Amino acid sequence: MRSALLAGLALATSATTALAQLPDPRPDLAIAGIVNSGVRVGIGETFFYAVTARNAGSTPCNWVNLTLKLPGEVDLVSATSGAPLICGQDAAIRIVGLPFDVACRGGPGFFLMPGSTVTATFTVRALRAAPSVTATAVADPGNVCFEANEANNTATSTATALILRPRLQVTQNKPFAPSIPAPPGRGPGSQIFPVTITNLGPGPAINVALAVTQGYIVSGSSYTGPEIAVAYKGQRAAEGQTPSNQIPPDCSTTRRTDLNIITRSCLMLLVLQPGEMLQVHYRWFPCPNPGGTPVLPPAIHIGTADELAGSDHVVNLLLACTF
């Protein structure tokens, strides 16, 4: 009697376990990924979010809503999908500057089969500066399907910084009077070439980089190109004056033996606000006398992070000799 009872209990437990292991017969919409193309985006520039939903369940779902909740710091440019989804803003009237929703909907008659995915791309434009904005994606079956799991219906993007970009203007100035050593042992001398860097953009320039690349022939040659004599913020100091607000350059030298070049890179650690100027005085060989042969200087490349794409400021010190 007791053994029959135990056998019956074991059979019931086995049946319960088997039922518990059966797959849930419902669909399960889940956000499989949200790709953010923007890390640091300038005001007026565009970037996109690509949102992918997946049916992780065991049966089809015949309605899919992909909604992206966007911050008020951006504006919608377009919302598209390769699938037959209809995309648009949720609200008929939107107050610019406030958060808003954009949705791509498929159904009825749109079937997302088990294991299949659907992707919608939302392109937006940055409206105003913000240190960090995110967007949240939501996938739901529009109350048409009953899901197996609603906990995986949302996902938040990585953060994007919306910034005001700097724009540098580089101006070469008339060089100072040359310094010519007296005999004996008279050398070639040197001359100061002042360069003015002005931030004309709406945003701050955080650090300014200056790089000089010099070729060489003899292996082991040292760098002999232009060097920064002094750098400072503010108006350009008159010749012979000691400028205040000096900024020591952080310089390093790298060598590439495969190309026979030496690069002298200097980083000016500062914040150059809109309208502010950075003065850099380079020391180089003096300008040639009329009819003389000049010592050709390598070009100086100047730039800063987050500047407008394609910005490349090149200085040739020899051009200042014509001023």
**Domains of the chain by residue range:** 23-163, 168-322
**What single-letter DSSP state applies at residue 219?**
T
pLDDT (tens digit per residue) in 174-188: 999 998 776 655 667
- Can you read off the two tokens belonging to residue 37? 């193309």
For the chain, what percent of residues have pLDDT higher than 70?
A: 91
Triad 193, 246, 314: Cα angle to 5° = 40
Q: Per-residue confidence at 15, pLDDT binned at 50, 70, 90?
A: very low
Residues 6+ apart with CB under 8 A from 24: 57, 58, 148
Q: Do domains 23-163 and 168-322 have the same CATH topology?
A: yes
- Can you read off the two tokens belonging to residue 57? 């369940």
Please check whether the domain covering 168-322 is classified as CATH 1.20.58: no
Helix/strand/coil percent split, the chain, to 5: 10, 45, 45
Residues 6+ apart with CB under 8 A from 267: 207, 208, 209, 210, 249, 250, 251
Please check whether the domain covering 23-163 is classified as CATH 1.10.760.10: no
CB-based contact 26:147 (threshold 8 Å): yes
Among 24-28, 178-182, 268-272, the minimum mean pLDDT is found in: 178-182
Statement: residue 107 has pLDDT above 50: yes
Statement: residue 3 has pLDDT above 70: no
Mean of pLDDT values over 115-129: 96
CB-based contact 292:321 (threshold 8 Å): no
Q: How far apart are CA 228 and CA 246, in angstroms?
A: 12
Q: How far apart are CA 229 and CA 175, in angstroms?
A: 13
pLDDT at 147: 85
pLDDT at 4: 52
Residue where the block lists tokens 């640091």 = 40
Mean of pLDDT values over 201-213: 95
Statement: residue 12 has pLDDT above 50: no
Mean of pLDDT values over 160-165: 97
Among 53-57, 168-172, 295-299, 316-320, the minimum mean pLDDT is found in: 295-299
Residues 6+ apart with CB under 8 A from 139: 29, 30, 31, 53, 64, 65, 66, 67, 153, 154
Statement: residue 20 has pLDDT above 80: no
Statement: residue 218 has pLDDT above 90: no
**Residues in the chain, overall count:** 323
Could you tell me which of 208, 226, 321, 322 has the C-alpha nearest to residue 282? 226
pLDDT at 143: 77
Edge-to-edge strand ranges of the sheet holding 160-163:
40-42, 160-163, 130-133
189 Ramachandran zone, left/alpha/beta (phi>0; psi -120 to 50)? left
Q: How many of the other CB atoms lie within 10 Å of CB of 148?
A: 18
Q: How far is CA 223 from CA 80, 216, 252, 263, 285, in A?
A: 54, 9, 11, 8, 14
Greater pLDDT, 73 or 224:
73
pLDDT at 279: 98
**How far is C-alpha 42 from the geometric centre of its chain's CA atoms?**
9
